[in-house]
Amino acid sequence: MAGLRERQKADRHRRILEAAAALFRRSGYRHVKMEAIATAAGVSIGTIYNYYRNKGDLLVAIVSMEVHDVLAAGEEIVARPPRDAGRAVHDLISIYLEHSLVYLSKEMWRHAMAISTQQPDTPSGETYTELDGRLADQVCALIARLKALGAVREETDERAVGELIFNNTNMMFIQFVKDEAMPVSALLDRIGRQNAPLIGLIGTPAHG
């Protein structure tokens, strides 16, 4: 019975988040009422408030859903990366960025980022920061894996390089969400050009 209850709870969470994401994308984050989310999810307004204090909590929970999806997909790259360092980094970053607009619009990302900077000590702000940290950790893990495979130079500081790659990606992602017209392909091209000199320095001769 406990397992059934947990599955029901997880399903309820998922329905609430998917309903909120769809409404935020269609009507705009500011214009959506919690009551409308409850109706769309098929739950009571009290049920939503049992889980989430406000729309900001809901929005960051959607970000969390997004990040957990890409982290799971990224694990496959880290476990079995291409032996070319540039290709491996590109493949991992592509997973992050190409999935970024599945649940969230650029407008939703802007509001989520505002929560992380304006309310850093709230549970939502702390969650957003923790999610960024997990993504950075995964990039570092990829560099460490490439070093173990001989695709990255032995003297490479995988933590420093991984954080540098992630931090630049994060900065460019902010520019991306500020520009409604920029496609993901243009973002990936820019990040690829910026990463190329670094990859050239850390990659072994046999692996680019």
Question: Domain 1-52's class?
Answer: mainly alpha
Tens-digit pLDDT profile for residues 10-33 = 788 889 999 999 999 999 999 999
pLDDT band at 206 (very low <50, low <70, confident <90, very high): low
Q: Within 10 A of 194 (CB to CB), how many other CB atoms are there?
A: 14
Contact 62, 20 (CB under 8 A): yes
CA dihedral 69, 177, 56, 92 (to 10 degrees): 20
pLDDT band at 71 (very low <50, low <70, confident <90, very high): very high
Q: Give every CB contact of residue 139 below 8 A, 6+ residues apart in sequence.
A: 89, 92, 93, 162, 163, 165, 166, 169
Query: Which pLDDT does position 1 carry in this prediction?
Result: 59
Q: How far, in Å, CA of 106 to CA of 103, rounded?
A: 10
Superfamily of domain 56-207: Tetracycline Repressor, domain 2 (1.10.357.10)
Domain boundaries, the chain: 1-52, 56-207
